[in-house]
Amino acid sequence: MTLNPNVRVRYAPSPTGDFHVGGARTALFNYLFARHHGGSFILRIEDTDQKRFNPEALDWLLNGLRYLGLEWDEGPDVGGEFGPYTQTERLDIYQRHCQQLLDEGKAYRCFCTAERLDAVRKEQQKNKQRSGYDRHCRNLDPTESAERANNGEQHTVRIKLPLAETITFQDKVKGKITFDYTNLQDAVIMKSDGIPTYHLANVIDDHLMQISHIMRGDEWVNSIPLHLLLYQSFGWQPPVMVHLPLILNPTGKGKMSKREGRAPDGRVLPVFVRSFEEMGYLPEAMINYLALLGWSLDDKTEIFSKIELIEHFSLERIKPSPAAWDYDRLDHFNGDYIRQLSVEALTEQLLPFLEQAGISATSETLSPITPIIQERIKTLSDAASQVDFFFVENLPDYDSAELIPKKMDAAQTITALQEAKSVLTTAEFEHDALDSALRTHAKSVGLKVGQMFQPIRVAVCGRKAAPPLLDTLAVLGRETCLKRIDQAIESLNR
């Protein structure tokens, strides 16, 4: 690991909507890079789009980052040397810099009304021309422009792009990219309400906060020519640019959805960090999975702890090609991490999920059950539907036909259950003892093991798909098992 405290990277979200896993991947890569170098990971809130600002989104974001364990060194709540870290608290800084560009003739005031811009657009459409601002105000006399502004006339400020020029830059992941300014517009950098657009605020902050590397989603790459011109206009050195590969839908087609959907089997397909948390994905699994979405150490190592990721993370191993989201792979990782937990730790993590599902378990009542389901759950929220029958006095109604094994009838099933009862009345309630007693007895009365196990399972659990039977019996105990078998016999007699 090469330590370099000058590495300063930022995650700079705009809190307009829910915290998407795509954003979490960007935050993670920045975090890993900062920690790898012993540098700083900065959280900056880009809230200049006040129309779309959503205060709830800020909570989702901060909670999501905390759940993932991506602690930041500087940010709106923790402060830091380069604050404030919320852009709407830095408006005077942007105003000052914008004025500098105006004074130097690198930007200009645009007094065009929305109506005029609209008419221009329509005319361009009619004539099948490329749509965009026609640079009407670009050559206004600076004195006249200043006077009109002083008289309170509404205006925006636009950057003066080169009219014909190309720019080439080196992206750490994508390699060399060339843009032609001819195709671009004089973008608005300051809106008429005195709030900057993303471009101006982003560039100024990255410079003033001494950001060394910009690591962000691929969708921002088209802003580069404008940003580079801003750096140049201010006489600043741009940070190293790193654009992360797109995340695609599981089908491999199209950018990963911004909305949550459902799989054909009805399963929710989450895309927001808080949904993954609510479903019981462990942060360790999320981080491991997200890290491999566009980065790999050697194309074969799959399991990485956070410490290992920090140790190995490098920009050189970020892949330029898009990565498709894979729910099954994440489930597989989560299952793995769940199995690595101690019984005590898993029990504690499961309790709130059971409570949420209306199951009142405690550490004492749940811990004997935890090992039985540890192998079988993919998420913490899976547990409720597997353990519910342990926590009810009486099973909810179930279809008694489920009790009857194939090629048997109700009368034969009653006999099998009675035989089971005779074993369970005296057997020691422990896995191996129950196993041998039930098997031996089934054989001696001419039943196949399955013909005895299925009715017992349905009788005590209320369904066929349930955790391993013998462990289940051992935890439920003699009294409950016998009572439930009696109830099953009764229902078959009805």
Where do contacts with ligand GLU occur on this chain (CB under 6 A)?
12-14, 46, 198, 202, 216, 220
For residue 228, what are its two tokens? 């580079």
Provide the 3-class DSSP secondary structure of residue 440: helix
Which is nearer to ligand GLU, 57 or 359 (by Cβ)? 57
258 is catalytic: yes
Rounded Cα distance between 141 and 138, Å, is: 9
Q: How far is the CB of 258 from ligand GLU (least distance, A)?
A: 13
Which is nearer to ligand GLU, 31 or 111 (by Cβ)? 31
Count the alpha carbons within 13 Å of 5 in the hemisphere toward its beta carbon: 1
Rounded Cα distance between 245 and 219, Å, is: 9
Residues 465, 467, 468, 469, Cα dihedral to 10°: -70
For residue 153, what are its two tokens? 């006339």
Rounded Cα distance between 305 and 286, Å, is: 11
Which is nearer to ligand GLU, 45 or 427 (by Cβ)? 45
Q: How far is the CB of 185 from ligand GLU (least distance, A)?
A: 19
Rounded Cα distance between 346 and 351, Å, is: 9
Which is nearer to ligand GLU, 226 or 424 (by Cβ)? 226
Which is nearer to ligand GLU, 56 or 399 (by Cβ)? 56
- Between CA 270 and CA 366, with CA 356 as vertex, the angle to 5 degrees is 115
Q: How far is the CB of 17 from ligand GLU (least distance, A)?
A: 10
Q: How far is the CB of 23 from ligand GLU (least distance, A)?
A: 7
Which is nearer to ligand GLU, 169 or 220 (by Cβ)? 220
Query: Which of 122, 160, 258, 300 is an active site residue?
Result: 258
Q: How far is the CB of 284 from ligand GLU (least distance, A)?
A: 25
DSSP-derived secondary structure for 365-421? HHTTTHHHHHTT-SSGGGHHHHHGGGG-SSPPP--GGGGS-TT--HHHHHHHHHHHH
Answer yes or no: are the C-beta atoms of 396 and 462 closer than 8 Å: yes
DSSP state of 216: E
Rounded Cα distance between 373 and 30, Å, is: 36
DSSP state of 237: P
Answer yes or no: are the C-beta atoms of 403 and 380 closer than 8 Å: no
Residues annotated as catalytic (active site), given as ranges: 258
